[in-house]
Every structure is written in C-alpha cells, then in structure tokens.
Structure 1
Amino acid sequence: MSGHSKWSTIKHKKAITDARRGKLFTKLIRELTSAARAGGGDVDANPRLRTAVSTARGSNMPNDTIERAIKKGTGELPGEVYDEVTYEGYGAGGVAVLVDVLTDKKNRTVAEVRHLFSKYGGNLGENGCVAYMFDRRGFITVDVAQIDEDELMELVLDAGGEDLRTEGEVYEIYTEPETFEAVKGAIEARELAIGVAEITMLPQNTVPVEGKKAEQVLKLLEALDDHDDVTKAYANFDISEEQMAELAQG
C-alpha cells in the first residue's frame, strides 16, 4: 500500500497516545506563531492559520495557549522568529524525502538533518532534487464504519473535494489546498469523526522498499518527526501492509 497514508495514520495515533505531548505542543505553537506572522492573526482571512488552529484544537491544546502563540506571531507579545526551510534528499532504496522545518538556527538544523539522513542509509540533496515529485494536497481520513462510500463520495464532491479512496478500514479523501477547509467542514457538519486532517505533500509516484531498507526509511521518518525543528516529513515509499504494521509495532 502507499506509505504516505499509512504513515500519516501512524503519526496521528502517536500524537494521541505519545507521552511526549510537550514536544507536540512545541511544534504546534511554532506553526501557529509562524502562520500568524506570515498571514495575520485573523483565522477567517488566513487559511494556514485556520488549519493550524484546527490541528492544535484537535490535539487538545488549551485555547489560551493557542491565543498566546498567535499574538507572538502578530507581534502583540514577544516571541522567537523562525525561518521556514524545506530540505530535500533520498532515503534508503532511493525513496524521495521532503522535510519542512521551522528553526531559529539554520546551520545547526541542516547539520542535524543531514546526520539523520546519513545515519539511516540516505543522503541530503540539493534544493529541487525531489520537490517536483510531490503535489500539495489536503488529506482527510474517515473510518469506513461511519458512512457508506457512495454517500461520503457525494458529500466530498459537493464540498469541492478531488478524490476518495478506500484503504482498509478508512476512507482517504483528497482535496486541493483551497478546498480543504470546506470539505473538512462538510464532513464535520455530518458529525463524522475525522482521523487525519492535514495539508500534505502527496507523492506522484511511489518507490517500493522492503526488508532492511523499509526499516531504515521508517526509522528516518520517525527520527525526523522527533526532531524539535521538523514540522513535517514526507516520503514516496511503498511498503507492504504486513511489514508496515510489523515495523510500526517494533
């Protein structure tokens, strides 16, 4: 199966159950602050901030914490200024990897990210080496037990969604970034529980990996996900359902 959707689901479950919630909140606060700094503090006029607020609330972040992060971005409160950088490279088996970071020390961060690539059988590349292999899309999952596929498809298309696929026990919904909030809102209006809801970089094609290389790819993504400065990591790997489950549990 496509590694992208499975990895997104694994990350979502980690965020809910992981004892390191403080680290998750730190990353969410950085995104809230940066989104507000880039596009203003009005969620209705700033789609990036609207998504960041929705994600923060979905992670049970207190409203006063969200408000403080936004005010730091708009300059109403003092706060750090973070540079937004995307690094590109290859993981084991030639898997393309994109890494979005928010950092106040770019030289330190790039050295640490390069080390992680090398540690797990990959290498950091030049800007543009893999970005063209990905498309920016909205991505939402809904448990199949909640609604009939045809009914959900009609709902998604009417709200401006692009595609719906069934993967095991979940529906995967894809949208253009501009229609993501409208589709998400339509699903929520039907009182359907959403698993994952994010703006992501969707790979145009996938690279099959197995065995040791598959393990290295997942370890790289997990290490990147654990890095304080990394906000998102994307990859175009394809790993069997069985091995993905085995490695995720390990």
Structure 2
Amino acid sequence: MAGHSKWANIKHKKGRADAARGKLFSKLAKDITVAAREGGGDADMNITLRTCIQKAREANMPADNIDRAVKKGTGELGGAALEETLYEGYAQGGVGLLVHVLTDNRNRSASEVRSTFTRNGGNLAESGAVSHMFQRKGQILVDGGDVEEDRLMNIVLEAGAEDMKREGDQFEIITDPVDFSTVCEALEQQGVRPDTASVTMLPDVPLKIDDREQAAGLIRFVEELEDLDDVQNVYGAFDIDDDVLEALSEQDA
C-alpha cells in the first residue's frame, strides 16, 4: 500500500484550496448527513459523524451548516434524498479509477462523470471491472513529529489495527473497516490527533507512475472529477514516483 498516504495527503491539502472555491462545504455537509443517517446524530456515539464534524470545523464550516447537515441525516429537517453510487473506469494508460458519488439527481451525476472521463481520454467500465482491484480499508495518517513511533505502534496494534508504517513525514495506519472506529477512539483517548482518518478504497497492486507528463495529466483528471459537485471521493489504482510528485508539487507552489 506504499504511496497512498502521499496521495491522501495531496487530496487533504487540496481540500483547503477547494474551500476557497466554495465546494468543500457542500461535500462535507453530505458526508455529515450520510454519517448521521447511518449511525445516528449523536457524535459522542457515532465516531464517523464525529470525524466528519471535526473535518468540517477544521475547514471553518459554520456551526449552523453542520447542525443542519446532521438534522437532514436524522430526518429532523427535510431535503432531497441522497443516492450513493460508485462509478468505475479507466484513465489513459489503463489506470483504474473509482468515483464515489452522493447525488440527488442520478442522471445529472452520470452525465457529468461520463463527460469528464471522455474529455480526459478515459472511459467508464462495467460494475466490478475496477472495484475488484481495491480493498475497503480504514486509513489514518498521523504527523511523524507528533508522537513517538513505538508508542503509536503500541496504541494502534492493541486497538486492532492491521498495519502501521512510516511514509515520509507521516505514519500510515491501516485497519479493517470494522475496527476503524475502535482505533480512532484509542488514538483520541491517548491525545493523538490524526491529520486525516477515513474509510477508503486502497488498491491491491497500484500502477507505478514515473513519467512526469502522465502523472500531471492523471492528477488533473482526478481533480476535475473531484471538482464535480456530486463527487465525494476519487480512488486511484496508482502510485506516483516520489521524485515526480515532488517536482509537480514544486511546480504548483
């Protein structure tokens, strides 16, 4: 699973830029609504909701917006029902992509996702064609300067984590989705605050990308998908070479 903490961190940093474009609050609100719908509106009893609310607060989302999103999920406020869909497809070069959508208009989201794939030289695939390349896992990223490695290892393994490794300046913790909440709560109790924590889709064998032009095009494609209002997350079966990633980051700085 090497490299996925880097990609997750890129998306985390990108999220802060999205706020300036007015899109992040909508995506965060949808996450909160779904978390409240599936696990209840009490954040003390619903770790997924608590994590979503924490992300929203870090993005300076107004408290009223958060409250409304929770109440939509619990049914206290009306609103269009959100449907969850997973689109599967390929970018140029055969790179597998999963596109997670939450929408109140399935036809609109399908049209937007399809046109984005076409515009970027990709193509959609049938259900199951790409998703079998991924596993659903909990992924937690912790700043390497915030906690000593042995202490962190003891905390997460005792709580049921599957693996922990250092990726650059971060620790990447992988869990079974069933154990994700337990590991998050263990970190919280020990005063360790993750940079990001989510249940995500991780590829079994990511395609190594060491060509700068291909990497740049792939990142642009993923960003276009993520900028669609109905798209919550994009998961890619690729791992961009460290040197290429660093060069692209400096180019965009």
- TM-score, length basis structure 2: 0.89
Alpha-carbon distance change, 45 to 128 in structure 1, aligned in 2, over 3 angstroms: farther
Aligned to 1:190: 190
SS in structure 1 of the partner of residue 197 of structure 2: strand
Contact preservation (8 Å) 2:137, 2:174: yes
In 1: Cα distance, 2:24 partner to 2:92 partner: 27
Letter of the 1:225 partner, please give it: E
Query: How far is 1:200 from its partner?
Result: 0.6
Contact preservation (8 Å) 1:36, 1:74: yes
1:126-145 map, 5 Å: 126-145=126-145
Aligned to 2:214: 213
Q: Where does structure 2 lack aligned partners over 5 or more consecutive residues? A: none
SS in structure 2 of the partner of residue 32 of structure 1: helix
In 1: Cα distance, 2:15 partner to 2:33 partner: 20
Alpha-carbon distance change, 6 to 70 in structure 1, aligned in 2, over 3 angstroms: same
Letter of the 1:120 partner, please give it: N
Aligned to 2:174: 174
In 2: Cα distance, 1:160 partner to 1:60 partner: 32
1:54-65 map, 5 Å: 54-65=54-65
Aligned to 1:200: 200
Alpha-carbon distance change, 171 to 134 in structure 1, aligned in 2, over 3 angstroms: same
In 1: Cα distance, 2:143 partner to 2:164 partner: 13
Query: How far is 1:42 from its partner?
Result: 3.8
Aligned to 2:245: 244
Letter of the 2:220 partner, please give it: K
2:125 is aligned with 1:125: yes
In 2: Cα distance, 1:40 partner to 1:179 partner: 18
2:113 is aligned with 1:113: yes
SS in structure 2 of the partner of residue 194 of structure 1: coil
Q: Deviation digits for residues 21-66 of structure 1, max 9, x if unmatched? A: 6311111112222333344434456554344334323433333322
Letter of the 1:189 partner, please give it: Q
Letter of the 2:102 partner, please give it: L
Letter of the 1:224 partner, please give it: L
In 1: Cα distance, 2:203 partner to 2:110 partner: 23
SS in structure 2 of the partner of residue 171 of structure 1: strand
SS in structure 2 of the partner of residue 231 of structure 1: strand
- TM-score, length basis structure 1: 0.90
Q: Where does structure 1 lack aligned partners over 5 or more consecutive residues? A: none
2:225 is aligned with 1:224: yes
| Identity within the alignment, % | 49
In 2: Cα distance, 1:178 partner to 1:47 partner: 12
In 2: Cα distance, 1:62 partner to 1:164 partner: 34
Letter of the 2:245 partner, please give it: M
Aligned to 1:157: 157
Aligned to 1:52: 52
Structure having greater relative contact order (Cα 8 Å, sep ≥ 6): 1
Contact preservation (8 Å) 1:85, 1:102: yes
Aligned to 2:99: 99
SS in structure 2 of the partner of residue 165 of structure 1: strand
2:70 is aligned with 1:70: yes
In 1: Cα distance, 2:115 partner to 2:151 partner: 47
Contact preservation (8 Å) 1:3, 1:236: no
